[in-house]
Structure 1
């Protein structure tokens, strides 16, 4: 009994990326092909680099001929490779390689990430256009749309920074693209890339305006420029 348990433990484990289990369908693999690949990986990790169809099918519910056909198709479709080699003694050998599988899985992972980023970017852009049209009270002109796209694609301003510049223009009573472009230019020149940095810069700018404001004698005249924290929601 103890020896049986020891043999079971000595079977060991195999290491596979969890993403293979979640994405094999998107690699156009079915469950039989997945299990066959997992068995090949298991044999490779145990040192058997070229398991026979008999060895592989004995672990599955498919026949040897079905296993042969499945192996042929996996090789043909570029999921596994058979590599030829020679030992130090000059003896020729063959072995399976699953590197192509990992490369395809990485390509799929990168493509999914790129797609998700593009979807997120499109959502940000749509939201940005909506914010501008709401503040301007009208649809944007083709030139204004082109300017917005330029701020994002050429100048690489984040949408939150562009929204912050829009709010600054609204609070300053200068709602036009030239003024907003100037704000973004000044922020970029000063290395401002986050909301917090823009917030600090705005506070310093207003404080400077307050300190430079000439004092007047009229009793009803306000003594300072009222502060408006335009970045607060």
Structure 2
């Protein structure tokens, strides 16, 4: 049997198979920390930006995943300080064996008591993955973070992504929605729904400049001719010319 000749990392089956406690980002963050951890003590200290770069997500999303991993006992975190007192990258520790989740005896008390509401709250990045079937690129992450800075809440961005999915469109479509919300001062889902309803009502109104789909009746054409001064002038001139021609013929005969 051939043995693998390239570096590799082992990931516990319980982590890969979990469908209840971990999302795709939690698993990616765990695997990256695990990739840096030594086999002897299970400790690693990659920086948060390094984890974010390899997991293809934002640093904020890394922080959220680490918090969830800590709550489940999959990771322990120990802050580090430099000699000058400034913050250094954290030390992460992974339990030696994970047979089930949560991992008993490896959960810090202050993290274990995380509120249930936060556990159920879905993230922007989870909705992005559900909508487009792929992880967002760093540029797309930066775009959504920019809209957050401009005043759009997580719930409103999630609503926009869901509407994009219903329309079967791509992320560019979502960005146009976000741009219009920022421009129009829309900051809640209720305001977004009201704006959409108003737009649909305007679409139903008849357009006065629209060309009629049916041909104009002949009687209406004749009525328009009567009211058209140009046509009336033309008819009057033609009648005068006919009278002059008749008089000339009459004089010739005389």
TM-score tier after normalising by the smaller chain length: 0.3 to 0.5
Larger Rg: 2
TM-score (norm 1): 0.35
Higher helix share: 1
TM-score (norm 2): 0.33
